[in-house]
A and B are shown apart, each in its own frame.
Chain A
Amino acid sequence: MQKIYIEITNLTEVKSLTGIQRVEKSVALEMYKMIKEQLCFVVFKADSYRFEMLDTNLFIDYLKGDKNAFDKMFSGEYLEFEKMHPGDIFFEIDAVWNGRYKSSVLLPKLKRYGVRIACYVYDIIPITHPKYSHFNTRFNFINYIGAYLQYADILIASAKSTLDEINELSDKLGIPRVKGYVSWLGSDFKAEKNDGEIPEEVIEAAKTKYILNVGTIEPRKNHDFLLDAFEGGLADKGFNLIFAGKIGWNVKELEERIENHPLKNKSFFYFKGLNDASIDYLYKHAFLIAFPTQAEGFGLPIIESLQRGTPVLASDIPVLREVGGEYCRYFKLNDIADFNAVIDNLADNPKEYEKLCEHVKDFKPFTWKETAERIVDALNSLKPEQRKAKENVSQMVILTARADDIKNTIPYIEAYMPFIKKVLLCCPDKVSDEMKAIPTKRISIDTLTDGEILKGRPLPEDHGTRNFFLRCLAMGSDKVDDVFIMSDDDYRPIKPIDPKVFIEDGSYVAYYCHELNDWKGVVGAMSSYDYYIYRTKDFVNQNRYPDMQYSSHMPQIIEKELYQRMIKEHPGIESTGLDEWSSYFNFVQAKYPDLIRSKPYICMCWPGMHSDWDMRYKPAEYLFENYYDFLYRDGNIFDGFSEVYTQKTEEENRLKEQKYKEYVEEYFGWKKLFEEYSDAYIKDRLAIPSFAVIEKDGELEISAPEILEVKAESIMHLPFLYRGKKDGLKLQLSMEANKVRVSNMVPMELKLSDLKLVDYKFDVAFSFGPKGTPAGNYTLIISVDDGNAMSEKRIMLKLL
């Protein structure tokens, strides 16, 4: 079931639920009635920097007035983004802009996990009319709106005019408009009013015909204008003027004007802190409500007044026209003459005034139920399309150029993948006959040659680009089944494989090995694979797709029609050299979250060696092997084992699996020690042990932890950051004890033209001593050389 995570941090932090918190409360109560199973309310906890999930029922009890539910509603469970289901919705309805978790950081993270993002926008006044916002709100609002304009799937505005302003802003920024919806604020607050006594001075002030303004005293609300109009004629015509509302910000002069007004408590009255009954009384007995506001998100006082049958005179701005419609009278913004003329007309024509009062009685307020219904309708537009996996798979499609390699792999497929009946080899034309002649026991072999695939189009030279190009074009061939297992000629099954490995409960199972955004590659010697991962990272980020890395070097299931859809929706994609697995699975998961079930990969020898790349996920089991010939030679892990299928293969596979498992365990043991050291370092110093090379004014500065603790003889991938613009920088790490070098690294060249793809973050694989290196204290030397100058930093290294 699609979950809707609603962020309501402020709602749990304030004592009185007014303004936006009142909206949140009303919407939450109504949504609970409609879709309670889907809801999960979350609050950001600044002490742990995480979102805590609330017990939905207890939270609703709290909103209904059960104060005892407050302490119990915090579940102690935290939202883990990586465990959110792709297609789930994160719905922001809070006044979050001044919060500590900046939307610019939070939203891209959610997108990485395929989460859909929706936001209820009250207004964008801090951008359109910044002078009416506090500088802090203005500043933080830029972050908030900038993030939602970039990453939200839908925006729900409280008024159409606000949505228009949002779209106008997107146009100005030159970015696509976010799909928008409108859901007015409700105003059926009946249950909350009419309690308390009405002070005598309120009743007294209301005895004379009066103009009322309700709302916080702040510059945007234009109280000065009302006082000007009052002094410029209204007072002389026998009207009282009443302000009701608390003092806001930046109104020192206005406050003085109010306090020192010569007619104060004679014909001008200012009340603050009135109870609901008094406000209700004032609304009901006013000649009219004046609402001269300069900018507004919605204009709730208009609704509150019309509900009570009192006419409203509002400034003629789009949002008030929208909310008040034909029930209000309007005057030209800041035009006292126009304002007074409307009042004169109504005061001088009692029939006209009565007619207006009668008409206002027909006004039907928008209810919170309707607000919530529209919100739910909008959120429903994010419901993922449903699609079921196609069950019968019997074909494996393999990209290969070397007959010997596939010849050695076929026996493994025959032995362990009984549901595979046919293998289609995509290969160069010149080896097609040789491929077809590969002997098999039960599997039929056919070929799809480059000529058949390309149909005259040139083949790209780069390995990564070529493979993706061929696979994309091959999807157009009738020889490829509707659903098939895509593989390479060196991906070998090592145990009996059930089709359920690929199709589970109507979903395709996709196996990931890393995350695209965190892939560091080997910066000093980037491979074709690294490049295609970086390009794929850009592809998924630009399209706001999830970012798991599925090139797990094992066979995976593909539905041809979906691959074709990806190509169709991204014209020219076939020439862009993407990771053929990650582009496809992330695309499909974005479109049909329920169709893809993502799991950590189940393949050994990826990586082949600890130094290749930093393993993020430990495979739970090993059903496949990514065959590397060098692992079977020169004392490497599988030296002595057969490289081809023999009668001993089953037994050997068991031993190989055990050896590789131990190899992986060793690496994760080193990582665990490093994590323990990091945690302790953070606790002691409030600093994260990290390495950075910073170029500033031509100088190279190196930042490193004071002390590094790692396991002796281990290989670790140390996270580095480079900020600067120098190309071809050479970085080297070495280790010494008593001024004698123990371990050295070949200097790695930082090619910045390449690094642009990786945000200048990279890992440096370093071997902390050869076999036999004893534990103890050493020195780690980090040096950078740009050809002109060299910088060096020495830190204490403790080998455990």
Chain B
Amino acid sequence: MTDYERDIYSKIYDITEDNLKDSGLDMVTYKDTLMASIDQEPSFVDLSQMKDIPREKYVQALYYIMFGRWVINDEEQSFYSDSNESDKDFKLRMLSKIYNSTERMHGKRVVANYVDYSKDGNLKVGKFKRNLLKVYANIKARIPLGVKSKIKNLFLGIKA
């Protein structure tokens, strides 16, 4: 898609936003989400198109593009709770969370996963073990909160 083509969507967003502002309302959805989504195939997600999305808009875009739905407001706020994290670490944490979620089992494939490694260079995101995740999904409600993420990582084959 050319910049010219992309620009048309951007302009329509602006027109819509202006019309909405006349009514004293806000768009709720970000232009960054729109621009990161317009060139996404239905079957997979090109994560490299999200590289320029600022931290405060990243979660909305990630949810919309990966799951095809909007993040619930409370859920979104909880993701932004750790303000000491660097942008890169924040995005990595978010992506790992989404990438390894049971919701994605039925979701999209990923291409150009540019934040798929941890600081030591090892892969952060393990081989997607669909069957094991299904088992995890069935038992997760019974796992104590304190060890939940560790157990999940075991299922995913991710080293702590």
Binding site for B on A (CB under 8 A): 46, 49, 100-102, 104-105, 108, 126-131, 135-136, 138-139, 142-143, 145-146, 149-150, 169, 172-173, 175, 538, 541, 682, 684-688, 690, 692, 694, 696, 701, 703, 706, 721, 723, 759
Contact = CB atoms under 8 A, between A and B. Distances in A.
25 contacts: A46-B42, A101-B42, A102-B38, A104-B1, A105-B39, A108-B5, A130-B17, A131-B23, A131-B25, A136-B70, A138-B16, A139-B27, A142-B34, A143-B34, A169-B15, A173-B11, A684-B127, A684-B128, A686-B104, A686-B107, A688-B111, A690-B112, A692-B112, A692-B114, A694-B48
Given A172-B15, A541-B2, A686 B38 contact: no
Contacts of B113: 687, 703
A759 B127 CA distance: 30
A483 B48 CA distance: 48
A752 to B, nearest CB: 14
Contacts of A687: 109-111, 113, 128
Given A131-B23, A173-B12, 7 more contacts: A46-B42, A102-B42, A105-B42, A129-B19, A130-B20, A143-B9, A706-B127
Contacts of A682: 109
Given A686-B110, A688-B44, A142 B39 contact: no
Nearest to A138: B16
Interface string B29-70: 100011001111111101011010000000000000000101
B109 A100 contact: no
Nearest to A136: B70
Secondary structure type dominating chain A contacts = helix
B16 A126 contact: yes
B127 A146 contact: no
Interface of B: 1-2, 5, 8-9, 11-13, 15-17, 19-20, 23, 25, 27-29, 33-34, 37-44, 46, 48-49, 51, 68, 70, 88, 104-105, 107-116, 123, 127-128, 130
A763 B144 CA distance: 48
A723 B46 CA distance: 11
B27 to A, nearest CB: 7
Contact of A149 (B8, B48, B109): B8
Contacts of A128: 19
A706 B123 contact: yes
Contacts of B108: 686
Contacts of A696: 51, 88, 114
Contact of A100 (B68, B116, B128): B68
Nearest to B105: A686
Contact of B13 (A46, A49, A142, A538): A142
A503 B82 CA distance: 69
B15 to A, nearest CB: 6
A690 B29 CA distance: 30
A143 B8 CA distance: 10
Contacts of A723: 48-49, 51, 112
Contacts of A150: 5, 8
B38 A143 contact: yes
Contact of B116 (A105, A169, A703): A703
Contacts of A703: 48, 112-114, 116
A126 B48 CA distance: 29
Contacts of B40: 102, 105
Contact of A146 (B8, B46, B70): B8
A557 to B, nearest CB: 32
Contacts of B38: 102, 104-105, 143, 146
A49 B12 contact: no
A187 B98 CA distance: 48
A46 B41 CA distance: 12
Contact of B9 (A104, A721, A759): A104
Contacts of A126: 16
Nearest to A684: B127
A142 B23 CA distance: 18
A591 to B, nearest CB: 23
Nearest to B9: A146
Contacts of A104: 1, 9, 38-39
B140 to A, nearest CB: 19
B64 to A, nearest CB: 8
A694 B34 contact: no
B114 A686 contact: no
A685 B127 contact: yes
Nearest to A707: B127
A169 B13 CA distance: 12
A105 B5 CA distance: 11
A126 B68 CA distance: 19
A723 B27 CA distance: 28
Contacts of B1: 104, 108, 759
A105 B104 contact: no
A146 B48 contact: no
Given A143-B34, A146-B8, A703-B114, A131 B42 contact: no
A694 B15 CA distance: 32
A139 B13 CA distance: 8
A701 B113 CA distance: 10
A749 to B, nearest CB: 21
A142 B70 contact: no
A283 to B, nearest CB: 32
Closest 4 CB pairs of A and B: A692-B112, A49-B43, A131-B23, A694-B114
Contact of A127 (B5, B12, B29): B12
